[in-house]
């Protein structure tokens, strides 16, 4: 086996997912350049390495050393040390700082960083905090190499290995060896299958109770990601057996043990048994009880002369409310809990504004909230009053008792007399439960939403279940107002919802179809629309005003490919634009991006008046923004989100982001855009449904452009399939009211 010692001068290619690299190494002594290939988890330019491998001959690239093992060795020359420090490996050190450090400390520079980091402040531009960062990063890199080699031996990608190390630190190897299944619980993006592969490679028996328990939890967690609050036992057993491939009795015993340890709840429902993760059971049953208590609360303030108050609002605002709207206001002022539901153009915003004015006039404090930042911003603009995300309303953050938690709860409730929540179709059962726990008796809860929109991404079917329970007052808005009837977006949204074909290409209107047959033609048309036709038609800005909403992720006109193609034309590479590769995505300054996972710990800042800065935690699934800066020295990426939040991401967190020139229709819930472009090609009937098209159309304020076959639109309009979700909030509400027995 050949040995090579030298300096890494060039990284020709690197796969960020698996670490496979092609590197050019200048051999010590001979100074010959040698091409080496293999899995190098964290190799960097300027690094001195010792390799063992075998010589091979590539048909195109000639002689190469195929690496079998390698280790890092501290560079021995001044030039090597400077290259090593300037590589970006050490946080806080770029080319300029590396030059200063080597000039000041000479060949002792690495020893200084490792053993006497306090001396780093001798160098101009390095303060105490930066010196601490450099020393910490240097030390971390020594530890991380051992961890990387360990994890990659089990097939863990470089990106996930780094996330694992950041979670467990120097105890990573011991933690993983003790219980590899904890990776599925602790690390975002690592599921049971990856943890299971590691465990099996370590010799964990396939019949291990730990493996069976982890598999059951995984199946229920996957079901939750599909919107289910629980699974029937038979369905759970089937999925778990397919996953684990073990005797059925082992799965049954696993269910019993998890139930006895209160991690699962099993409940009889007619002719089948429902199996819940305990948190979902608590959320569903607790939500039903609190809703009942709020709705039947006798201490709720009662109002007289409601009709007079409504007439005063009409006079002050020079409008006449429709009877449906008047009824919604009456019930809001009469009951503790109500639901207002209706499609676009039915006057939900007017009702909210009326209620705010009337409640405020009575001296009541009103809080407004919505599930997403975009929805909250829209609500605030329409109501001319601050609206918060539900997470911000509940003051998500850190507590002494828990690492992270909602600060508003039953012991520290929301300080409000009235709470109005918009876009309730997006609220899942867990978020509902946290919200309800923070609302005390005497507080009114008004829930507003469109029940025909797609349901929440998270578990449960909250809005539909509450309406179907028939125990909470519901006002169904059906009348489309005259001014709304002038918008073909609104007219066609209602036509789609009723199973009728939308009216297309009417002159001087705002709803069009560009008929294209093939995916290739659709892609070409999208490019033309975004870059030329729509900006010319209405002075629409391609990045800020136009949003492509696609039904699918895969395929030529799926979100994944569309983002790559649109990035090329809307934000092409340029010498002044910084870039960072993450997996198969290149993030570039100016890119439009979206957060794709809830991260309650991400810190954000919002500039205030007089140099004040507001701080908080939490960026959530669906939040969109633009990349402002990429700092390879600090290994960070800065994003300005739509709600003016600035967030700094560590490079290890980039798997939580994706390009958002195009997004799925599901991800667009709660958002509105001036222009929506919807590519439609053939897709599975389970996906290409009426409410998917309805949801996409209702995301547009000014213009909708469909691109594809008219026949595909007809198929979607006719397909009223609604996927069943296992949820029981409606039944629990009925039980809470004594309407049914358990």
Q: How many other C-beta atoms lie within 10 A of the C-beta of residue 282?
A: 15
Residue 223 pLDDT: 95
Instruction: Report the C-alpha gap between 276 and 580 in whole angstroms.
Output: 41
Confidence (pLDDT) at 36: 93
Task: Name the helix (H) or strand (E) containing 195.
Answer: helix 192-201
Residue 137 has pLDDT above 70, yes or no: yes
Largest separation between any pair of C-alpha atoms in the chain = 96
Of 528, 533, 616, nearest in space to 565 by CA: 528
Weakest-pLDDT range from 102-111, 150-159, 397-406, 648-657: 397-406
Residue 296 Cα distances to 331, 332, 441, 471, angstroms: 13, 14, 9, 11
Mean per-residue pLDDT for 69-74?
Answer: 74
Residue 403 pLDDT greater than 60, yes or no: no
Instruction: Provide the pLDDT for residue 86.
Output: 77
Cα atoms in the Cβ-side hemisphere of radius 13 Å centred on 311: 4
Residue 330 has, within 13 A of its CA and on its CB side, a CA count of 13
What element of type H or E holds 219? helix 209-225
From CA 714, how far away is CA 104, in angstroms rounded? 73
- In this prediction, residue 43 carries a pLDDT of 73
pLDDT score recorded for residue 152: 67
pLDDT in tens, 509-528: 899 999 998 999 999 999 99
Q: What is the per-residue pLDDT for 486?
A: 81
Beta-bridge partners for 231: 275
- Look at residue 552 in the predicted model and tell me its pLDDT: 93
| pLDDT confidence of residue 295 | 94
Residue 342 pLDDT exceeds 90: yes
pLDDT over 90 for what percent of the chain? 60
Residue 741 pLDDT > 60, yes or no? no
pLDDT at 78: 82
Given a contact cutoff of 8 angstroms between Cβ atoms, the answer to whether 72 and 45 are in contact is no
* Res 363: pLDDT: 93
Q: What is the DSSP letter of 657?
A: E
What pTM does this model have?
Answer: 0.80
Kindly state the percentage of the chain with pLDDT values over 70: 95
In 10 A of CB 146, how many CB atoms? 14
CA atoms of 251 and 256, how far apart (whole Å):
9
Q: Render pLDDT for 365-378 as a digit per residue (tens, 0 to 9).
A: 999 999 988 888 88
* CA 329 – CA 306 distance, rounded (Å): 9
pLDDT band per the 50, 70, 90 thresholds, residue 88: low
pLDDT tier, 311 (very low <50, low <70, confident <90, very high otherwise): very high
Kindly provide the b/e burial profile for residues 99-108, where b requires at least 16 CB atoms within 10 angstroms of the residue's own CB.
Answer: ebbbebbeee
Average pLDDT over residues 543-553: 95
* pLDDT at residue 740 greater than cutoff 60: no
> What's the confidence (pLDDT) of residue 170?
80
Give the model's pLDDT for residue 488.
92
In this model, does residue 400 exceed pLDDT 60?
A: no
CA quadruple 515, 519, 525, 530: dihedral, nearest 10: 120
**Residues 475-491: pLDDT tens digits?**
999 988 867 778 899 99
The DSSP line for 243-308 is HH---HHHHHHHHHHHHHTTSEEEEEETTEEEEEEHHHHHHHHHHHHHHHHHHT-TTSPP-S-HHH
Mean per-residue pLDDT over the chain, rounded: 89
């Amino acid at each position: 086996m050949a040995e090579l010692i030298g300096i890494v001068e060039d990284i020709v290619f690197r796969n960020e997912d698996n670490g496979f690299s092609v590197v050019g190494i200048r051999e010590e002594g001979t100074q010959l350049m040698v091409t080496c290939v293999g899995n190098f988890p964290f190799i960097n330019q300027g690094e001195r390495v010792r390799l063992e491998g075998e010589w091979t001959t590539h048909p195109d690239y000639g002689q190469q050393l195929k690496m079998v093992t390698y280790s890092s060795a501290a560079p021995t020359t001044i030039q090597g040390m400077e290259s090593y420090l300037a590589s970006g490996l050490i946080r806080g050190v770029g080319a300029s700082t590396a030059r200063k450090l080597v000039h000041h400390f000479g060949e002792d520079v690495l020893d200084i960083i490792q053993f006497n980091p306090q001396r780093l402040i001798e160098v101009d531009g390095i303060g105490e905090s930066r010196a601490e960062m450099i020393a910490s990063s240097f030390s971390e890199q020594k530890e991380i190499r051992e961890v990387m080699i360990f994890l990659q031996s089990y097939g863990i990608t470089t990106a996930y290995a780094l996330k694992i190390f950041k979670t467990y630190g120097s105890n990573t190897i011991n933690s993983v060896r003790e219980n590899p299944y904890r990776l599925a619980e602790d690390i975002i993006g690592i599921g049971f299958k990856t943890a299971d592969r590691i465990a099996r490679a370590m010799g964990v028996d396939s019949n291990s109770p730990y493996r069976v328990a982890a598999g059951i939890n995984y199946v229920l967690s996957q079901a939750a990601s599909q919107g289910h609050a629980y699974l029937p036992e038979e369905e759970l057993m089937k999925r778990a057996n397919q996953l684990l491939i073990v005797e059925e009795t082992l799965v049954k015993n696993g269910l019993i043990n998890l139930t006895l340890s209160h991690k699962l709840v099993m409940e009889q429902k007619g002719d089948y048994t429902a199996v819940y993760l305990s948190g979902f059971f608590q959320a569903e049953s607790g939500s039903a009880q609190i809703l009942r208590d709020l709705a039947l609360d006798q201490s709720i303030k009662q109002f007289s002369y409601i009709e007079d108050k409504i007439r005063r609002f009409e006079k002050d605002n020079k409008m006449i409310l429709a009877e449906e709207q008047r009824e919604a206001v009456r019930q809001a002022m009469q009951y503790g809990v109500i639901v207002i539901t209706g499609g676009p153009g039915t006057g939900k915003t007017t009702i909210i504004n009326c209620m705010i004015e009337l409640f405020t006039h009575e001296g009541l404090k009103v809080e407004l909230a919505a599930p997403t930042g975009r929805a909250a911003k829209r609500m605030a603009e329409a109501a001319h009053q601050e609206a918060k995300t539900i997470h911000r309303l509940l003051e998500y953050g850190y507590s002494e008792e828990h690492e992270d938690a909602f600060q508003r709860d039953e012991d520290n409730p929301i300080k409000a007399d009235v709470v109005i929540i918009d876009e309730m179709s997006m609220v899942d059962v867990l978020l509902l439960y946290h919200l309800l726990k923070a609302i005390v008796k005497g507080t009114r809860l008004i829930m507003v939403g469109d029940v025909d929109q797609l349901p929440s991404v998270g578990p449960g079917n909250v809005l539909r279940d509450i309406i179907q329970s028939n125990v909470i007052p519901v006002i169904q808005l059906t009348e489309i107002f005259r001014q709304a009837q002038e918008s073909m977006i609104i007219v066609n949204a209602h036509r789609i919802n009723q199973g009728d074909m939308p009216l297309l290409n009417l002159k001087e209107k705002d709803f069009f179809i560009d008929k294209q047959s093939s995916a290739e033609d659709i892609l070409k048309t999208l490019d033309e629309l975004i870059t030329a036709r729509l900006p010319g038609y209405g002075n629409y800005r391609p990045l800020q005003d136009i949003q492509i909403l696609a039904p699918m992720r895969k395929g030529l006109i799926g979100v994944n490919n569309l983002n790559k193609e649109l990035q090329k034309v809307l934000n092409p590479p340029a010498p002044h634009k910084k870039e960072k590769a993450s997996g198969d995505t290149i993030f570039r300054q100016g890119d439009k991006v979206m957060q794709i996972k809830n991260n309650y710990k991400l810190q954000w800042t919002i500039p205030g008046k007089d140099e004040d800065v507001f701080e908080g935690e939490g960026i959530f699934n669906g939040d969109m923004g633009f990349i402002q800066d990429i700092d390879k020295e600090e290994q960070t990426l800065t994003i300005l989100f739509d709600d003016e939040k600035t967030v700094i991401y560590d490079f290890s967190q980039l798997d939580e982001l994706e390009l958002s020139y195009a997004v799925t229709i599901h991800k667009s819930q709660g958002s509105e855009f001036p222009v929506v472009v919807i590519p439609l090609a053939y897709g599975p009937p389970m996906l290409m449904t009426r409410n998917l098209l309805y949801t996409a159309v209702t995301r547009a304020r000014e213009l909708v452009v469909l691109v594809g076959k008219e026949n595909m639109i007809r198929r979607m309009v006719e397909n009223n399939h609604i996927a069943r979700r296992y949820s029981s909030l409606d039944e629990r509400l009925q039980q809470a009211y004594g309407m049914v027995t358990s």
